[in-house]
Amino acid sequence: MRIMIDSVVEFLQGNFWALTALKLVAILTLIPVSGLAIGFAELKLSAKMQNRVGPYFAGGRWGWAQLLADGIKFIQKEDIIPADADRPVFRWAPALVMVSAVGLFVVIPFWDGGAVADLSIGIFYVLAISSISTIGILMAGWSSANKYSLMGGLRAAGQLIAYELPMVLAVIGVVIMAGTMSLSGIVKAQADFSLFGWSGFGDQPIANFISPFFILQFVGFLIFFISALAELSRIPFDMPIAESELVTGYLTEYSGFRFLFFFLAEFSNMFTMSAIAATLFLGGYLGPFVDVAPWLGPLYLVTKIGVLCFLMIWFRWTFPRFREDQLQSVAWKVLVPLGLANIVVTAIFKVVM
């Protein structure tokens, strides 16, 4: 058995294309799996918060197969395209949203060296690739030939542009602290961090449970998390898909597996955005004893992602929706100045340190 594993590993290390194919398969299975897991958590947690039971029968126990059943239902449904719609644009919009969801998975380091591609511009790539989905959403909104969809698409674009900026500003604080844009480099910088020559955060396996960046960049973390909520169009920032005002906005005309694409992209984006927040601010795969037992790394990362996703779900079922003008003033009048101040303070701190 052991010899077999060794020979497989050797084959993969020597063969670039086989390794790339394996990584692609891993990403393409991780997207539906993470989407289903978070979607199911959302169903069950929302039920708990509203004193309901939630899905109960599907799969025999706890309703664990509810979303699988939903997925099969979506695939069986007819793929309806409205008569007045712009057909090619309508067809390609979900694909573009999915491209951005897949692309985000590429740079996340799940363990030391465990990223599909460890780009030296890592976090910059994340910001760039996540901005592609805006085009897909605008395409979906416009090509549906529906007033509600167009309004939803426009709201989404306005919101994503407004919150892209504070997100970039929040990331810059971390990049200044770490001195690198590579995601694995940022994780390592959190392990090796020293404050005025005192490296108490790093070497001790117990101490690196709390990342130094979480404490020193707490403002950045808050800005990043709020912007991530807005980029994901989740409550309290879900005006683009507000069902009571816009009949779910740009999603109105989509059905069947095209709707499934948007749905999966939303939940897998929740996973990746939480993963990136965890990598930047919570130490990624670091945790107690991870230096002696590297297999703990992915578990720590998934735990941190789970906590952040739980927060997102909690917010969704406890906060009311913002108004459109309130949303814009929060971004431009509060988060952007706060982000700029954070950069200035961090830069001064970095020079002094």
Partner 1 sequence: MMDFTEPVTWVASILGLAIATSGFIVVTSKNLIHAALGLVGALAGTAGLFLVLSAEFVAWVLVLVYIGAVLVLFLFGIMITRAPVGYDVDLDNDRKVIAAVGAGSLFILTSFAALDSFGDTALLGIGDPTSTGDLADALLGRFVLPFELVSFVLLAALIGGITVARKDATPIAVGETEE
Q: How far is the CB of 199 from partner 1 (least distance, A)?
A: 23
**Distance separating the N- and C-terminal Cα atoms of the chain:** 51
Q: How far is the CB of 109 from partner 1 (least distance, A)?
A: 17
Q: 334 vs 81, 129, 163, 269, 326, CA distance in Å?
A: 41, 26, 11, 25, 11
Nearer to partner 1, 164 or 238 (CB): 164
Nearer to partner 1, 129 or 305 (CB): 129
Nearer to partner 1, 43 or 172 (CB): 172
Q: How far is the CB of 149 from partner 1 (least distance, A)?
A: 11
Q: How far is the CB of 218 from partner 1 (least distance, A)?
A: 26
Q: How far is the CB of 314 from partner 1 (least distance, A)?
A: 30
- Residues 260, 267: contact at Cβ < 8 Å? no
Nearer to partner 1, 127 or 195 (CB): 127
Nearer to partner 1, 48 or 87 (CB): 87
In terms of Cα–Cα distance, which of 307, 349, 345, 353 is closest to 220?
345
Nearer to partner 1, 157 or 195 (CB): 157
Q: How far is the CB of 239 from partner 1 (least distance, A)?
A: 15
Q: How far is the CB of 95 from partner 1 (least distance, A)?
A: 13
Nearer to partner 1, 40 or 262 (CB): 262
Spatial separation of the C-alpha atoms in residues 253 and 142, rounded to whole Å: 11
Q: How far is the CB of 216 from partner 1 (least distance, A)?
A: 22
Sorted by sequence, the CB contacts under 8 Å of residue 164 that are 6+ apart come out as 127, 131, 227, 231
Point out which residues bind partner 1 (CB under 8 A): 84-86, 89, 119-121, 124-125, 127-129, 131-132, 134-135, 138-139, 141-143, 145, 150, 153-154, 157-158, 160-161, 164, 180-181
- The angle that helices 87-105 and 132-143 make with each other, rounded to 10 degrees, is 160
Nearer to partner 1, 24 or 119 (CB): 119
Q: In angstroms, what is the C-alpha Rg of the chain?
A: 21
Spatial separation of the C-alpha atoms in residues 320 and 314, rounded to whole Å: 12
Q: How far is the CB of 324 from partner 1 (least distance, A)?
A: 14
Spatial separation of the C-alpha atoms in residues 31 and 295, rounded to whole Å: 21
In terms of Cα–Cα distance, which of 169, 181, 167 is closest to 231?
167
Spatial separation of the C-alpha atoms in residues 159 and 339, rounded to whole Å: 17
Query: Could you tell me how far CA 297 lies from the centroid of its own chain?
Result: 19
Nearer to partner 1, 108 or 139 (CB): 139
